[in-house]
Structure 1
Amino acid sequence: MDDTSMLCWLKQQVRVLEAWREELACRSEIDIPTVTRLECHYAWLTHEISRLDRPLRAA
């Protein structure tokens, strides 16, 4: 798998997390621990994508 394909897959995972976040927000009862874990993972993943994407844009 090349770097571009990997980044595309990772960005797709961000979209999945965003959809999951929206689904959780629509529930009548909010599961705070799940939302917190999801937000932490989302922040970590988007940071890593940004870090990995910089060298590809510079090339």
Structure 2
Amino acid sequence: MCVPIDDFQMLCWLRGQLRILTAWREELASRPDQDLEALSRLEAHHDWLQSELGRLESAA
């Protein structure tokens, strides 16, 4: 399903998602019983989203 949304609103939403992933990553990394596989997947997703957001922001 493709819903047209305002570019500014989409970028704001994606920035919010990145902040959530950042907080989740930091919380997971600080746990004494951290799951390294989960942390690795989360970091990969965080890095991907950060890269995509940068690309979108530079195009806007």
Deviation above 6 Å: which 4+ runs of structure 1? none
Measured on the aligned residues, the alpha-carbon RMSD in Å equals 0.8
Q: Which runs of 5 or more residues in structure 1 are unaligned? A: none
Deviation for aligned residue 1:49 = 0.3
Higher relative contact order (CA 8 A, sep 6+): 1
Q: Which runs of 5 or more residues in structure 2 are unaligned? A: none
TM-score for the superposition, normalised by structure 1 = 0.88
Count of residues in Structure 1 that have an aligned counterpart in Structure 2: 56
- In structure 1, what is the equivalent of residue 42 of structure 2? 38
For 2:19 and 2:59, how far apart are their aligned partners in 1?
22
- In structure 2, what is the equivalent of residue 4 of structure 1? 8
Structure richer in helix, relative to its length: 1
